Chains A and B, each alone.
Chain A
Amino acid sequence: MSGNALALTAVPLFRSEAEELVVAIPEQGMGFPLLSQPLERFGFEDHGSYTSIRVETPGTWRWSTVDAAFLSNILQRLDRPGEKLTLSGLPAELASLLELARATPRATVPESGARPCITARIGVRTLARVAEAKAFVNLVGEVVLCIPRFFLGAAKVRRAELIEVLADSSSRALLIVAIVNVLMGAILAFVGAVQLKAFGAGIYVANLVGIASVRELTPIVTAIVLAGRTGASFAARIATMQGNEEIDALTTLGISPVEFLVLPRVLALSLLMPLLYVYACAFALLGGLVVAMPTLDISTTAYMAQTQQAIAAANFAIGVLKALVFGALVALVSCHYGLRAPRSAAGVGSATTSAVVASIIGVIALDAGFAVCANALGV
């Protein structure tokens, strides 16, 4: 508290005269620090018997917002529901300003100020997560129910929308998928070359790159690239549509947003991910070859023959299956967050971030599930 305010606390600002409360404004006005102090520190007492307030102001006084806020605090303490105290001794413009602040507050349910305990907070968050999971399962169910309708030609999907989504998810993603997978294949080859060369088993770099890429890394890396690129774009697009009431417009036309927006995206990514996977595998193997040839002095023919021998059909089949599932997952998760986005600009950002993060976690978690299943099946 400033020295000014300390000095003021010594001087009572309030006194009672019968049923009237007199507020004596000091020469220098009220000052900011006084706003944070309880009125009782300045001699305020509420007997419940006041019917009027009179403000005594110094001769040269010019009122400020601080004075108005201070007086408003007093009025809030003393005004009873449906019964306002009369106010005198103030300039007309200040009195009318205070009248505005005294306007009857709206009847609203008071919010509890107390912070809930930690168990309650954990419970609330858990319930929110459960609700979110339920909504996601509902979405998956709705999409599954729509798929037969799509193939029977009964689904309300615009061909132009489907083609646009297909184009956006495929040709425009080719370059980035190629770059990432070439680099991944090259890194694997570098690491493998250093270790295997020491044992005179350099040729097995082809096995390492081939199996690791085809079975594990290419589906994951391609799915992560698509989550960051296409999934984010799905979430942002749908969240923006939500904010612009475009999805409400669909609903009021009797068109299911899941059928119109989610189904084409899930089908597009499920269809394209296996194709992108094959394309990505080629680039990953190429990356391995480019590194292995100079570092291990292996010929292209030897490397390719070793790769062909190493990659069993089962590895490739698992990779294709993973790509299909990951594609559907990325599309579903992205659309889910887009549809549940708050209707604001910030909502678009948070939906996009959540979609990418959840997609990446989902892809890796599913991959772990695939690994466990494949191990159990002996594939």
Chain B
Amino acid sequence: MRSVCEDMNTTPLPRIRVEDVSLGYGSSLVQQGVSFDIPSGEIFAIVGDSGAGKSTLLKAMVGLIPAASGRVLFDGVSLDERMRDGAPPFGILFQNGALWSSMTLLENIMAPMELQDHATPAARPALARFKLALVGLADDGHRYPASLSGGMRKRAALARALALDQSVLFLDEPSAGLDPLTSRRLDALVLSLRDGLGITVVLVTHELASLYSIADRMIFLDGDAHRPVALGRPAELAHSATSEKVREFLAVRAPQVTAA
């Protein structure tokens, strides 16, 4: 584990710190000894084989499920302490969008603002329309989630994740079920949000194209070893990771077309 853990004493206070987290369901342990820091403004990817616990780690980071051990700190403060102030320090895009089906898109974005008393009531519609415009759905605010395509739902969910203007964004498999073109557009949007708003992004992904094009760093969770086996820049790990599984995973790209 030493190889994939950072020396936490020498780095400045990170935006997110995951300290020796273990995850499990019942008596079975999914991952153990997960530790990493994410500095502000970084796009950090959680990668691994199927069933390795990527989404579980993400859910533990946002407090949806308890970690078996260890802790997660946002700006040096635990999530429970941060939540006492009211609004959480992050927005989250769930794998299937998780938009509230009984509300229009505009209502989906305004509801968190209303419930967390974010912005003045008069400003909320304009703010919500702006978030929808950011994801290219400016004219669809009156529509219900059921009437949208998968890609539109993902983008609308991303707009809702930005509703409270949090500085951290969690994305659970944002490209899952999307065609490559829509997936690339979503990647470009995430990059723009990071570059334009300085948002820190944590994403779970299987998509190598997304990984190479937007992720600054990644952690690889090994489902067989039940622990992380690589932490670093994707392009570097593709060549220098000590784990053969990581190199193999990162090496799978589209085949090269050669002239006949």
Is the Cβ of A253 less than 8 Å from the Cβ of B116? yes
Number of interface residues of A (CB under 8 A): 23
Contact among A156, A160, A246, A252 with B115 in the assembled complex (CB-CB below 8 Å): A156
Q: Per a CB cutoff under 8 Å, which of A104, A246, A252 touches B64?
A: A252
Interface residues on B, range: 20 to 34
Which residues on A are within 8 Å of B, measured CB to CB?
104, 106-109, 156, 158, 160-161, 164, 240-241, 244-246, 248-249, 251-255, 260
A151–B217 CA distance with the chains assembled, in angstroms: 49
A249 touches B88 (CB 8 A): no
| Residues of A contacting B112 in the complex (Cβ-Cβ under 8 angstroms) | 253, 255
Those of B219-240 within 8 Å (CB) of chain A: 223-224, 226
Instruction: Indicate if B130 sits at the interface (CB-CB under 8 A).
Output: no
Say yes or no for B260: interface residue by CB 8 A criterion: no
Among candidates A108, A158, A252, residue contacting B92 with C-beta atoms closer than 8 Å: A252
List residues of chain B with CB within 8 A of the CB of A246: 98-101
Return the contact of A109 from the options B27, B95, B160, B224 (Cβ within 8 A). B27
7 additional contacts (CB under 8 A) given A241-B101, A252-B62, A254-B116: A104-B224, A106-B223, A109-B28, A245-B94, A246-B98, A248-B59, A254-B87
Among A104, A246, A254, the one with the most B-chain Cβ atoms within 10 Å of its Cβ is A254
Contact B98 A248 (CB under 8 A): yes
User: How many Å lie between the Cα of A164 and that of B103 in the bound state?
Assistant: 11
In the assembled complex, which residues on chain A have CB atoms less than 8 Å from the CB atom of B178? none
Report the nearest A residue to B113, measured CB to CB. Answer: A253
CA of A240 to CA of B28, assembled, Å: 28
Q: Is the interface of B mostly helix, strand, loop or mixed?
A: loop
Q: Chain B, 89-112, contact with A by CB distance < 8 Å: what is the 0/1 string?
A: 011101110111110000100011
**A–B pairs, 10, beta carbons within 8 Å:** A158-B114, A241-B100, A245-B98, A246-B100, A249-B92, A249-B100, A252-B62, A253-B88, A254-B83, A255-B115
Distance (whole angstroms) from the CB of A282 to the closest CB of chain B:
33
Q: Min CB distance, A259 to chain B, in Å? A: 9
Q: Which residues of B contact A108 (CB under 8 A)?
A: 28
Q: How far is the CB of B23 from chain A (nearest CB, A)?
A: 15
Q: How many angstroms between the C-alpha atoms of A240 and B100 in the bound complex?
A: 11
Q: Does B63 contact A (CB under 8 A)?
A: yes
Contact of A252 among B27, B86, B90, B95 (CB under 8 A): B90
In the complex, are the beta carbons of A253 and B94 less than 8 A apart? Answer: no
B176 shortest CB reach to chain A, Å: 13
B164 at the interface (CB under 8 A from A): yes
User: What is the minimal beta-carbon distance from B180 to any residue of chain A, in angstroms?
Assistant: 25
The contact string, 1 if C-beta is below 8 Å from chain A, for chain B 26-37, is 011000000000
Inter-chain contact A158/B96, CB cutoff 8 Å: no
Tell me which residues across on chain B come within 8 A of A248, comparing CB atoms.
Answer: 59, 64, 94, 98
List, in ascending order, chain B residues with CB within 8 A of A106's CB.
223-224
- Which of A161, A240, A255 counts the most B-chain CB atoms under 10 A from its CB? A255
**Bound: A253/B165 CA distance, A:** 12
